[in-house]
A and B are shown apart, each in its own frame.
Chain A
């Protein structure tokens, strides 16, 4: 039965069933400010009146200094109350941190593996122990990491990369990446290279993050570190291009990894005279041995 009770009767530090992250919700705050708390909070019957659902509403009401809120009391075991909270929130959708919190609470309350896997399937997660372990790590991560995950909408791959760093390393990485405007795929590339560099040299290189001026600079520095051979080939190709002084109408395309046996030579021409001139120039580049030099690179003959 619905009731209206003073806010102070609800212990807002009791988070046994809290699945909301973050608790602050500007839109909800604005809504409650305008029309008050419409949907009642769900409390567990019994001493202590544990809140089962409505944590964001409670937080908004507190911030707005609302004195009384509508509640409904239910009589359930703790496990059932947690399942109630999960299912009650399913329609609004869970973000990745909330999924992690829900799974962590299920594990802590001793739910059997099968039931945990069922909920993982409801969350569209692969019900696999390895996935569960990752989510438990997310749940136990510190607030800045959780916020970073949500702010950047990180994919699971990137979250896993971040979690694999030591705590202090995570902080350094997040600080650097926050200062740069990066896309998800860019973040992935950077994190992958950072891990690779760490494994190769046996320690985390903080200086490479500290010294980077911007995202592109960071990427170049990391690339040089883990791809010294490829970087050197790129430099040599650049030098050949410079010496060959190709006109804008000629482009020589080389496989970015210098794998393919062939190169593409593209000529862009507007008329017969242009064509003649570009072919003459191309012939000159050929005679001077620049094309041969490029093939030396693609055939792995240059060190």
Chain B
């Protein structure tokens, strides 16, 4: 039974922050808007199980306070096009129909036209936002094979609903993002991911996919114990090592192999798809994409270029 309660908390300190990234791994320079902390979807691998102290969902609904921080961040940035997201400490859409938090933020970005807002979710509910959507909002869905959704993301929307919602956003003139994160290695995962990519090919317009992230399963030690305790066979079936940041990740040669497989299959849909690796090392980047991304700045530069290509001089 779900014992989570929504509690409204006073807006204090920084709500808009830099994505914390992780040591020795390349980060895309994302800005997070932490207006909701906690999630009702309760995915078995969720990193929030290790980080958040309360089972309750904490909501900061002082929108003017939040927007003033977003505006400050945009005004201070002189080089890059900023990308903001509300899906770092929560799912962007899971509670949004009820809480109506995203609408004013979506409208703000539509009026500001200087940065992008990404709503990242596993919950295919965008109808309440459709009238307000504009090109400066990116609707993104985490995507996983349905088998993995059934076993590890039990309270989320099924894959076909997520893809249908993404298509609806595309039809409304929005770009969409896709996040293959976490990619999980389990018996037969290659075939399942192949079908997943075929579904994407069938349903979505690749020209309106702004970015696709790939991130193999990684987690802090506390979650490793949690997986053992709960006998999460799927999540533990690969071979893990402790990375330099202390997190568990698959062995590098396995990561490269899996990233390559996904990268090639996705590029087969459309060579121009913008695909990036989330929190990976620079040699993994090189082995998978052939690109030499030396640091965060290098990746942020790629995003700038991508956005410029799609939006022209309007951003």
Contacts and interface: CB of A to CB of B under 8 A. Distances in A.
Contacts, number: 69
Interface in A115-163: 157, 160
Contacts of B254: 229, 300
Contact of A200 (B24, B237, B244, B282): B237
Interface residues of B, number: 26
A226 B287 contact: no
B242 A195 contact: no
A259 B253 contact: no
A90 B225 CA distance: 32
Interface string A197-234: 00110100000000000000000000000111110010
Given A192-B228, A196-B236, A300-B287, A257 B253 contact: no
Interface string A266-303: 00000000000000000000000000000000111111
Contact of B243 (A196, A229, A259, A298): A259
Contact of B239 (A199, A228, A299): A228
A261 B252 CA distance: 11
A171 B233 CA distance: 24
A258 interface: yes
Contacts of A260: 24, 244
A227 B253 contact: no
Interface in B208-266: 225, 228-229, 231-233, 236-237, 239, 241-244, 251-257
A138 B96 CA distance: 44
Contacts of B232: 199
B239 A303 contact: no
A257 B250 CA distance: 10
Contacts of B252: 257-259, 298-300
Interface in A19-34: none
B236 A229 contact: no
A277 to B, nearest CB: 32
Nearest to B233: A199
Nearest to A202: B233
Nearest to B245: A259
A164 interface: yes
B243 A257 contact: yes
B205 interface: no
B231 A300 contact: no
Contacts of B242: 257
A158 to B, nearest CB: 12
Contact of A227 (B229, B239, B256, B257): B239
A264 to B, nearest CB: 14
Interface string B255-291: 1110000000000000000000000011110010000
B251 A299 contact: no
Given A192-B228, A200-B233, A226-B239, A233 B281 contact: no
Q: What is the predominant secondary structure among interface residues of chain B facing chain A?
A: helix
Contact of A230 (B231, B251, B255, B283): B251
Contact of B253 (A160, A226, A300): A300
Given A164-B229, A230-B251, A299-B283, A200 B236 contact: yes
Contacts of B241: 227, 230, 257-259
A20 to B, nearest CB: 31
A122 B204 CA distance: 60
Interface in A222-269: 226-230, 233, 257-261
Q: Which of A229, A259, A303 has the most CB of B within 10 A?
A: A259
Nearest to B255: A300
Contacts of A257: 241-243, 251-252
Given A199-B228, A259-B241, A300 B236 contact: no
A157 B226 CA distance: 12
B282 A229 contact: no
Nearest to A300: B253
Nearest to A161: B228
Contact of A299 (B244, B257, B287): B287
A197 to B, nearest CB: 10
Contacts of A192: 228
A234 B50 CA distance: 32
A303 B253 contact: yes
Contacts of A300: 251-257, 283-284, 287
Contacts of A195: 228
Interface string A168-205: 00000000000000000000000010011001101000
Contacts of A301: 253, 287
Contacts of A298: 252, 283
Contact of A196 (B24, B228, B281, B283): B228
Nearest to B284: A300
Given A199-B228, A261-B281, 14 more contacts: A160-B229, A196-B228, A202-B233, A226-B239, A230-B239, A257-B241, A257-B252, A258-B241, A258-B253, A259-B241, A299-B252, A300-B252, A300-B287, A301-B287
Interface of A: 157, 160, 164, 192, 195-196, 199-200, 202, 226-230, 233, 257-261, 298-303
30 contacts: A164-B228, A196-B228, A196-B236, A199-B231, A199-B232, A199-B233, A200-B233, A200-B237, A202-B233, A227-B239, A227-B241, A229-B254, A233-B253, A257-B243, A257-B251, A258-B251, A258-B252, A258-B253, A259-B252, A260-B244, A261-B281, A298-B252, A299-B283, A300-B251, A300-B252, A300-B254, A300-B255, A300-B283, A301-B287, A303-B253
Interface of B: 24, 225, 228-229, 231-233, 236-237, 239, 241-244, 251-257, 281-284, 287
